[in-house]
Homo-oligomer: A and B are copies of this chain.
Amino acid sequence: MEHLSFLDLIRDDLERVENLLRERPPGQHEAIGVAVDHLVDGGGKRVRPALVLLSTHFCGADVDKAIFAAAAVELLHTATLIHDDLIDGSLMRRGAQTLNAHWSPGATVLAGDYVFAHAAHLASRSGSTLLMQCFSETLMTICNGEVRQMFDGHRNQTSREEYEQRIHAKTASLISMSAQAGAILAQVETEKREALKIYGEQLGLVFQIVDDVLDFVADERVLGKPVGSDLRQGLVTLPVLLFLEDNPDHPAVCQALEGNSSDKVAREAIQAIAGSPAIERALAAAQEHADQAKAALSELSHSSYRAALLALVDFTVRRRF
């Protein structure tokens, strides 16, 4: 996200967030420090901190406090990735080895827990118990969504509604919380916070749908992990759902979703979906959510920060990495 002009407004703030992310709390074990640095340096697009900061300026909240909230949401996201990769057995993320690829499961669990704690500590330094409440509710939503997927997921039988519920919990909840952060810190009127909440939820859906599309069509080198990872794990995302609407009995796709298909069958399934109209249809769905995200802000006062929030939506729906 380095060359995006809509981030110019918060360039200095983002720099401060980077410094916070690299801060090592007193007594932190060297191994955790190295692991977290590796994850933080590994990049990520810093969408969540950017949202916290744009929301902060847009709502006139205290930037010094928001810096902590911005670092907190990024570390919360990092912690969930540590545990997710362990649970999914993923070995690569953003072009680098995951922690569980070279640490024991036990050490990986503890590292994730530590990062959760560090994130909560940063959130508390924002000085807002309301923000802390929202922060912990969001983590509950994320975990709850994953437990639901684990216990109730029926692979082939996922409905569009279940998919949206899942990506709401997994991605949109934290992006929405980030978008609301400024409104929470500045204690603005309910309408403005509600507008930012809807904006964030819709933006989060865009973000995840585009991710799910890129999982099929992106260049592996750009993606930083094998193409079709979700399908290989039997996870039904929007491109798969839409493909199955037109091809309910496609042999390779159905086999791949059953799990334990050969690599050849998985590749065949991925190619079939990547080359189908399901991709464009999924991107059209993302565009619809993008339009709703922008509409949510239409009643709010115009400012350069509102413009940046709108530009972030356009960037998210168009991004190809």
Contacts and interface: CB of A to CB of B under 8 A. Distances in A.
A290 B28 CA distance: 29
For this chain, the copies found in one complex come to 2
A95 to B, nearest CB: 24
A128 to B, nearest CB: 7
A110 B29 contact: no
Contact of A110 (B31, B124, B128, B143): B143
Interface in A108-140: 109-114, 116-118, 120-121, 123-129, 132-133, 135-137, 139-140
A140 B31 contact: no
A25 interface: yes
Given A109-B109, A150-B110, A139 B117 contact: yes
A29 B83 contact: no
Given A27-B144, A32-B144, A147-B29, A116 B114 contact: no
A302 interface: no
Contacts of A123: 132, 136
Contact of A133 (B28, B124, B135): B124
A103 to B, nearest CB: 9
Contact of A107 (B86, B109, B151): B151
A29 B151 contact: yes
Contact of A136 (B80, B118, B147): B118
A83 B83 CA distance: 12
A111 B147 contact: yes
A105 interface: yes
- A contact patch SS: helix
Nearest to A30: B151
Interface in A28-52: 28-29, 31-32
B147 A118 contact: no
B86 A147 contact: no
A102 interface: no
B125 A128 contact: no
A136 B117 CA distance: 5
A3 interface: no
Given A120-B132, A132-B120, A133-B125, A139 B151 contact: no
Contact of A106 (B133, B144, B148, B150): B150
A268 interface: no
